[in-house]
Amino acid sequence: MTFKVFIDGRHGTTGLKIDERLAARNDVEILTIPEDKRKDPTVKAEYINAADVVFLCLPDAASKESVALLAPGNTRTHFLDASTAHRTNPDWVYGLPELHGQRERIRTSQRIAVPGCHASGFILSVAPLVAAGLVPTDYPLTCSSLTGYTGGGKEMIADYETPAALPQNMLSPRIYALGLAHKHLPEMKALTGIAHAPVFSPVVGPFAQGMLVSVPLLTRLLPGVTPESIHAYLSEYYAGEACVKVMPLGGGDAPEAGFLPATTCNDTNRAELFVFGNAEQILLVARFDNLGKGASGAAIQCMNIVLGCDELAGLRA
């Protein structure tokens, strides 16, 4: 069977990666609007309603406009929205199938919100622990996230790749979202069930792709919790998952001479979860590709679930 797929926003970073990953599949037909008709809402509506799956790789307002073009009574076309427009909307299902119960919700939904990259690492690390009561909902969480510059979209990619030489202020990693109101915070709070959003410090580095999301915990605020108990619970929670792998306690052989690179999972749909710690402190780290499990790979994984395909079709775990 061949499925018809329309990528609305095909020329953006996420859209290009989805297009690239689907191009090699013989079970997918990508519908392409002629260049001179791209902004014609009537033509776009025809393509949306002809598709089995529509990927929305657009700004929030444009995503909402495209959803509104679905014809009344059309229950066949599935939306997979990579913007932040619908991630905390109760009428949309959050596209993180590894959370317990979420895979079946995705399978039966017509509207799926693809997770944000930073949010994916935070939620995969924290949500199971909060649900199990190992981390209280009112725990004062903090999170830092190091990402490659492709996470910033076309403009940031151009800033890093266009100059013959980077200016001095771009040669080192740079903290951003200093107003403490990053757009991923609402989903980070909602999907983990915590009472307050974490203090979140995202950092962009002078490398194209790769991501490390880190969450520290203090054992004195978590009675009875140890690195061993956290690791054991996450290992059991994600047992059997192809795209989420809990690494050995302390990282096993993964840290290279005491360092944990951000790029090891690049070009895969794999997220690796690490637990480091001692009697006083615990550090949770999620490592994945910000363009893979953090964006286009996650979108395709959800598409595969919706269409009843092999969940890893077109992906590499």
Q: At 265, which CATH number?
A: 3.30.360.10
In a domain, 74, yes or no: yes
In a domain, 315, yes or no: no
In a domain, 313, yes or no: no
How would residue 244 be classed by pLDDT, with cut points 50, 70 and 90?
Answer: very high
CATH of the domain at 303: 3.40.50.720
pLDDT digits (tens, 9 = 90+) for 91-146: 999 999 999 999 999 999 999 999 999 999 999 999 999 999 999 999 999 999 99
Which residue out of 57, 117, 265, 302 is catalytically annotated?
Answer: 117
Both 103 and 238 in one domain: the answer is: no
Mean pLDDT, residues 161-184 taken together: 95
Both 134 and 26 in one domain: the answer is: no
CA atoms within 13 A on the CB side of 238: 26
Both 40 and 187 in one domain: the answer is: no
Q: Which residues contact 86 (CB under 8 A, 6 or more apart)?
A: 63, 67, 92, 111, 113
Domain region containing 47: 3-115+295-307
Both 246 and 279 in one domain: the answer is: yes
Contacts made by residues 37-44, CB under 8 angstroms, sequence distance 24+: 41/65, 41/69, 44/8, 44/69
For 152, the enclosing helix (H) or strand (E) is none
| Rg of the Cα atoms in the chain | 20
pLDDT digits (tens, 9 = 90+) for 216-233: 999 999 999 999 999 999
CA distance 130 to 230: 11
Both 149 and 137 in one domain: the answer is: yes
Q: Which residues contact 181 (CB under 8 A, 6 or more apart)?
A: none
Count of domains observed in the chain: 2
Residue 256 is predicted with a pLDDT of 87
* Mean of the per-residue pLDDT values of the chain: 96
Is 1 a residue whose pLDDT tops 90? no
CA distance 305 to 293: 15
Both 69 and 125 in one domain: the answer is: no
In a domain, 150, yes or no: yes
Both 121 and 255 in one domain: the answer is: yes
Secondary structure letter of residue 2 according to DSSP: -
Both 99 and 179 in one domain: the answer is: no
Residue 52 is predicted with a pLDDT of 98
CA distance 104 to 107: 5
Active site residue 57: no
Both 210 and 303 in one domain: the answer is: no
Both 31 and 102 in one domain: the answer is: yes
Answer yes or no: are the C-beta atoms of 17 and 296 closer than 8 Å: yes
Between 41-50 and 60-67, two packed helices, what is the crossing angle to 10 degrees? Answer: 70
- Say what the pTM is: 0.96
Both 282 and 157 in one domain: the answer is: yes
CA distance 222 to 262: 28
In a domain, 314, yes or no: no
Both 123 and 104 in one domain: the answer is: no
How would residue 265 be classed by pLDDT, with cut points 50, 70 and 90?
Answer: very high
131-to-107, 167, 191, 273, 314 alpha-carbon distances in Å: 22, 45, 10, 17, 32
